[in-house]
Structure 1
């Protein structure tokens, strides 16, 4: 039987995520079991899996937030704002706030090191990116105001943003100053959206 209140809601989920993140960053993802996470969070392993169906999602727990952000950027934009502008503004707000999804959040270096050291986490990150690409493409295909190929636009955006994130992670792990990297990261995000609007190669 689960302990009283351990099924919980957002509070229980947050407690599990915090315990898992601490253990993974201290010891490495592959060295920590779900049972150990459960003990550290004061819940059962069943409760952990109720909130996080996959062990990898204990650390990569922002997929739902990213999904909602993409949907909102398409659905909730003002009538006179195009999709590229809405996505750009949403992405840059994350960067400027050093949000957990931005790639430049405080404390991101241990997180990047942990992900880079685990083939399972890298594989799950690729799956999440594929899911997000599909989400964005579906939203664009349903949007009557969007002109263009939604599948292609979504592929370019997700792949491009992933490239920016990976480069930022690589350079932070290598020891480049976080504040300088945040500025560089923002500039590369800006270039990504310039490329989405105008193409990568110069026109002749």
Structure 2
């Protein structure tokens, strides 16, 4: 990575961290882009060059992507089904206390701010729906499902349900002030229960075979 790219990444990081601090302190709607720029010691245009809209400062497309579930399934190995790929990935993120799963340090202060902001809450809901839509399209393509076949969408919806359920549980426990280690243990227990409830057809659907 060259010096120019490193400086760019440092600027992006500084803007995002500054914005998040201000949003947590004062509320998302109460802080303007101009105030973020001033606090981060950059021009307003610099903020917009890196973050298309204000919500991207909290939910950057690179991390909060509609392709998240489809991307996990697309990258699965031989002999792994769509559902198990997602369940395995979620378990790994929990064990790593990953930011993507909401177990990173300080998230307990960030989540209430996000839930209190209507545009951020709406974006989270829309993101969940988009993840399911993109996953359904991927499953339909991979399995060669006929047009109008409801199965890819139903399987995607159940995987999306498990994903949303996990985030909801982590969020609830985070807001309640539970320790990350306790939240992680409860999250893993929840995933085990979810897997036990999913049918064998869902758990084996779209298993990747050697072509």
Length-normalised TM-score, structure 1: 0.81
Match for residue 97 of structure 2? 98
Higher RCO (C-alpha 8 Å, min separation 6)? 2
Q: Does the CA contact (< 8 Å) of 1:161 and 1:189 recur in 2?
A: no
Once the two structures are TM-superposed, the CA of residue 57 in structure 1 deviates from its matched residue by 1.8
**Shift of the alpha carbon at 1:115?**
1.2
Look up the match of 1:182: 184
Q: Are the equivalent residues in 2 in contact too, given 1:34–1:48 (CA < 8 A)?
A: yes
Please give the alpha-carbon distance, in whole angstroms, between the structure 2 residues aligned to 1:68 and 1:10.
23
Partner of 1:70: 69
Is the Cα–Cα contact under 8 Å of residues 113 and 173 in structure 1 kept in the other structure? yes
C-alpha distance in structure 2 between counterparts of 1:64 and 1:89, whole Å: 19
Q: Report SS of the residue matched to 2:97.
A: coil
- 1:96 shift after superposition: 0.6
Shift of 1:38: 1.5
Find the counterpart in structure 2 of residue 161 from structure 1: 163
CA distance in 2, matches of 1:50, 1:130: 27
Contact preservation (8 Å) 1:103, 1:168:
yes
- Which piece of structure 1 moves more, 115-124 or 37-46? 37-46
Q: Contact (CA 8 Å) 2:15, 2:37: kept in 1 or not?
A: yes
Asked if the contact 1:71/1:139 (under 8 Å) is kept, the reply is yes
Q: Which runs of 5+ in 1 are unaligned?
A: 200-204
- Give the TM-score of the pair, scaled to structure 2: 0.79
CA drift of 1:110 comes to 0.4
| CA 145–107 in structure 1, closer or farther in 2 if over 3 Å, else same | farther
- Whether the aligned pair in 1 keeps the contact of 2:162 and 2:194 (CA below 8 Å) is yes
Task: Tell me if the contact between 1:16 and 1:48 (Cα under 8 Å) persists in the aligned partners.
Answer: yes
Greater CA drift, 86-95 or 61-70: 61-70
Give per-residue Cα distances to partners, 1:96-119, cap 9 Å, x unaligned: 101111122222100111112222
Summarize the Cα distance change of 1:165–1:9 in structure 2 as closer, same or farther, 3 Å threshold.
same
Decide whether aligned partners of structure 1 residues 10 and 196 sit closer, same or farther in structure 2, where only a CA change above 3 A counts: farther
Aligned length: 194
Report the Cα offset of residue 63 of structure 1: 5.5
